[in-house]
Amino acid sequence: MSAKEFTNKRKLAFLESLPSISLESGEIVERCKFNFSFFDCTQPHGQDFQDWSHNELIKLMDKLKNYSGSSLEYWRHQRVGRGGLKVFEIYGDFPKKSNFIHPKHVPHDVSWARFRLENLVRLVGFIVPKGFNCAETIDLPQPFDSNTFYVVFLDRDHKFYVTEEP
């Protein structure tokens, strides 16, 4: 009998159905994450999800899905549009020229940033700066994740950083 006659087709089909990625690869850490726990829809120039059309929300979700496949650092180096604007820009401090105000519920020592979604549309929020450490008296159960983008504003009309070219 040949070896081919002894193959177990069900076993092979089962093994083929198993995921080929595991946590051991560390790949999951490289993928950026989006957190909406600091979302603020109370400011006059920002919007809530209900203010956006169904198509705008679908575009947003498609972009989030796409962005979450790579790291924030990767997106910081990607450019789009005629002017070659960065997809993801880190501003650092809250802009001095903004139609928004720094919400009281957002920590003062974060790095403000934005994703350019299309023409004038921006997703505005912040990241925890790389290497940020709490006071020595605070014992965190986990280190800060500098690959998480905390969404604060939906900015349909480019009003967050008014000095930036659209």
Residue 153 lies in domain: 41-129+143-157
Buried b / exposed e along 43-77 (16+ C-beta atoms within 10 A) = bebbbeeeebeeebeeebeebbeebeebbbeebee
Q: Which residues of the chain have pLDDT under 70?
A: 1-6, 18-23, 25-26, 163-166
User: Tell me: the pLDDT tens digits for 100-119?
Assistant: 999 999 999 999 999 999 98
Count: domains in the chain: 1
Listing DSSP states for 10-51 in one string gives HHHHHHHHS-S--GGG-HHHHS-EEE-TT----STTSB-GGG
Looking at the domain assignment, is residue 112 inside a domain? yes
Looking at the domain assignment, is residue 13 inside a domain? no
Looking at the domain assignment, is residue 150 inside a domain? yes
Cβ(117)–Cβ(63) below 8 Å: yes
Looking at the domain assignment, is residue 134 inside a domain? no
What pLDDT is recorded for position 160?
Answer: 96
Burial class of residue 89, CB neighbours in 10 A (0-12, 13-18, 19+)? middle
Read off the pTM. Answer: 0.82
User: Tell me: the pLDDT tens digits for 21-39?
Assistant: 666 766 778 899 999 999 9
What pLDDT is recorded for position 2?
Answer: 55
Looking at the domain assignment, is residue 19 inside a domain? no
What pLDDT is recorded for position 30?
Answer: 86
Looking at the domain assignment, is residue 7 inside a domain? no
What pLDDT is recorded for position 22?
Answer: 63
Looking at the domain assignment, is residue 81 inside a domain? yes
Q: Where are the alpha helices (DSSP H) in the chain?
A: 9-17, 27-30, 54-67, 72-76
For 57, residues 6+ apart whose C-beta sits below 8 A from its C-beta are 49
Tokens of 115: 């994703």
What pLDDT is recorded for position 21?
Answer: 66
Cβ(114)–Cβ(125) below 8 Å: yes
Please choose, from the candidates 84, 85, 102, the residue with its C-alpha nearest in 3D space to the C-alpha of residue 93. 102
Looking at the domain assignment, is residue 166 inside a domain? no
